[in-house]
């Protein structure tokens, strides 16, 4: 009988940030002496894309061309760190019967992407506790956590984005063999950046010298996320509408100037894809002067940059604070029914872990001006190891692993690969 569990002690807000320190412990319980190479903890940040596509092929012995569905996928690691807590890279050691606890501390790199999930892929972060056993399945436990990475537009190094930009276009409507007067649209954008909570007033002037009414004016701010494959040029896109403003039109031989206030809600997700090879995001203004169906609309488009920190602005000292409290339960740092005893009480392993209250304060304090971005709803915060309810216990019956009935599965982030069996027999957390 063996039990391996990883606990995170400073995951109280349900998310980490680039540069955060991850503090936790690996707790082992052995009912007999166990031979192993080492006890280690591994931190992984992994981006993955996957979808089904169609390919053509010719069957052997036949000239007939056919098609079939195939799954294409790509992977890239943005973070990969491993720390040995006990033992070494070679040789073996033994741990006696009882409980063994190994504290650890890991640092997330500063320049990493956000946790992300869409129908075509994901970016996930996890820490894995591993008991490396020779000639046997390793004991493992995995904790998937969320990373919120703010988008700082200063890294673009494009101060010209703060300059006003003007666009103009016009079209002449033809009715049968006669050409009417032109319809022109002039757009003035104060700057080509936008941060959450900020209001940008875009001026649109429509001059209608034709005999046809302009039926309406619409401004859309679109987010376009591109998902890629490394082995092919095929891509998939996810389009989200960030803002949509509609105004009345302009009658024939009329003229009007509109002021369109554009604001991103604080709940809108602005993913950070820095260092990503498989994901990219673009933002575009699309201003549409709507004409009757027999005529094509007059359209002006402009790309912009969207983030959390604008050019020539700085994040407050200490960073940003936590978002609104999550409705998901936050788990205890220690098993509440069986807290690890101190060194003097007979458990084996590393030194006594410091109380949670002695940990240094978080690196992010409340921002005085900018609202904090909301994390993606696709990833509920996981207060307990492996999810809000813990991982479903796996019990060995005649060498075959079966899921214990009646135990809720964790609402964890989607997994892209199957982990090997974690241990021979696991006692569920009470």
Query: Per-residue pLDDT tens for 302-316?
Result: 999 999 999 988 765
Concatenated DSSP letters for 291-306? Answer: --TTSPPEEEEEEEEE
Q: What distance in Å separates the CA atoms of residue 265 and residue 269, rounded to the nearest whole number?
A: 9
Distances (CA, A) of 134 to 31, 299, 384, 418: 18, 66, 30, 21
Write down the residue that tokens 């900020």 correspond to.
Answer: 198
- pLDDT surpassing 90 at residue 402: no
CA-closest candidate to residue 11, choices 372, 354, 330, 409: 330
Write down the residue that tokens 């807000």 correspond to.
Answer: 13
* Location of each CATH 2.60.40.640 domain in the chain: 2-150+315-403, 153-307
Mean pLDDT of 1-11: 92
List the single range of 73-77, 88-92, 388-392 with lowest mean pLDDT. 388-392
Highest mean pLDDT, choosing among 63-72, 294-303, 339-348: 294-303
CA-closest candidate to residue 306, choices 334, 288, 280, 282: 282
- What pLDDT sits at residue 368? 38
**DSSP-based three-state secondary structure for 406:** coil
Q: What distance in Å separates the CA atoms of residue 14 and residue 22, rounded to the nearest whole number?
A: 12
- What pLDDT sits at residue 90? 86
Mean pLDDT of 266-294: 94
- What pLDDT sits at residue 329? 35
- What pLDDT sits at residue 316? 54
- What pLDDT sits at residue 216? 96
Per-residue pLDDT band at 177 (split at 50, 70, 90): low
CATH architecture classification, 153-307:
Sandwich (2.60)
- pLDDT surpassing 90 at residue 196: yes
- What pLDDT sits at residue 430? 38
More confident residue, 294 or 372: 294
- What pLDDT sits at residue 310? 92
215-263 per-position pLDDT tens digit: 999 999 999 999 999 988 889 999 999 999 999 999 999 999 999 999 9
3-class SS letters over 128-197: EEEEECCCCCCEEEEEEECECCCCEHHHHCCHHHHCCEEEEEEEEEEECCEEEEEEEEEEEECCCEEECC
Residue 365 main-chain phi, psi, to 5 deg? -115, 165
Which residues are within 8 A (CB) of 45 and not within 5 positions of it... i.e. 6 or more apart?
A: 77, 78, 79, 80, 112, 113, 123, 124, 125, 147
CATH architecture classification, 2-150+315-403:
Sandwich (2.60)
117-146 per-position pLDDT tens digit: 999 999 999 999 999 999 999 999 999 999
CA-closest candidate to residue 278, choices 10, 80, 50, 23: 50
Per-residue pLDDT band at 325 (split at 50, 70, 90): very low
More confident residue, 386 or 25: 25
Q: What distance in Å separates the CA atoms of residue 124 and residue 50, rounded to the nearest whole number?
A: 14
List the single range of 113-117, 239-243, 336-340 with lowest mean pLDDT. 336-340
- Averaged confidence pLDDT in the chain: 78
- pLDDT surpassing 60 at residue 387: no
- pLDDT surpassing 50 at residue 33: yes
- What pLDDT sits at residue 321? 44
The pairing of beta strand 394-397 with beta strand 400-403: antiparallel
Residue 219, token pair as written in the block: 């401004």
Per-residue pLDDT band at 381 (split at 50, 70, 90): very low
List the single range of 104-108, 397-401, 411-415, 420-424 with lowest mean pLDDT. 397-401
Residue 143, token pair as written in the block: 């904790």
In the chain, what percentage of residues exceed pLDDT 70?
72
345-356 per-position pLDDT tens digit: 333 333 333 333
- What pLDDT sits at residue 179? 63
């Amino acid at each position: 009988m063996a039990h391996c569990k990883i606990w995170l002690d400073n995951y109280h807000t349900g998310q980490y940030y680039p540069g955060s320190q991850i503090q936790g412990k690996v707790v082992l319980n052995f009912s007999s002496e166990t031979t192993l190479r080492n006890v280690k903890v591994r931190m992984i940040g992994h981006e993955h894309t996957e979808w089904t596509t169609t390919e053509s092929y010719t069957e052997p012995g036949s000239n007939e061309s056919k098609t079939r569905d195939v799954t294409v996928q790509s992977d890239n690691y943005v973070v990969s760190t491993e720390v040995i807590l006990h033992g070494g890279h070679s040789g073996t050691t033994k741990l006696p019967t009882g409980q063994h606890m190994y504290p650890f501390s890991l640092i997330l790199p500063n320049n990493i992407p956000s946790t992300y999930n869409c129908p075509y892929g994901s970016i996930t972060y996890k820490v894995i506790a591993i008991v490396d056993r020779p000639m046997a399945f390793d004991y493992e436990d995995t904790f998937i956590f969320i990373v919120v990475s703010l988008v700082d537009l200063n890294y673009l190094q494009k101060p010209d984005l703060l300059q006003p930009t003007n666009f103009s276009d016009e079209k002449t409507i033809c009715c049968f063999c006669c050409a009417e007067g032109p319809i022109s649209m002039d757009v003035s954008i104060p700057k080509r950046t936008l941060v959450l909570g900020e209001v940008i007033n875009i001026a649109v002037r429509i001059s209608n010298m034709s005999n046809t009414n302009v039926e309406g004016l619409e401004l859309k701010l679109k987010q376009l996320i591109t998902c890629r494959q490394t082995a092919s040029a095929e891509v998939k896109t996810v389009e989200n509408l960030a803002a949509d403003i509609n105004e009345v039109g302009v009658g024939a031989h009329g003229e009007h100037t509109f002021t369109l206030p554009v604001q991103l809600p604080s709940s809108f997700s602005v993913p950070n894809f820095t260092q990503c090879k498989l994901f990219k995001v673009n933002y575009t203004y699309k201003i549409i002067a709507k004409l009757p169906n027999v005529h094509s609309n007059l359209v002006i488009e402009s790309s912009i940059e969207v983030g959390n920190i604008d050019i020539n602005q700085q994040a407050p000292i200490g960073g940003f604070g936590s978002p609104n409290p999550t409705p998901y339960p936050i788990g205890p740092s220690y098993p509440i029914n069986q807290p690890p005893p101190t060194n003097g009480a007979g458990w084996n392993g590393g030194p006594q872990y410091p109380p949670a209250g002695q940990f240094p304060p978080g690196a992010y304090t409340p921002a005085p001006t900018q609202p904090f971005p909301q994390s993606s709803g696709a990833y509920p915060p996981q207060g307990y190891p492996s999810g809000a309810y813990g991982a479903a216990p796996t019990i060995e019956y005649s060498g075959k692993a079966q899921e214990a009935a009646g135990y809720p599965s964790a609402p964890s982030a989607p997994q892209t690969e199957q982990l090997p069996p974690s241990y021979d027999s696991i006692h569920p957390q009470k």
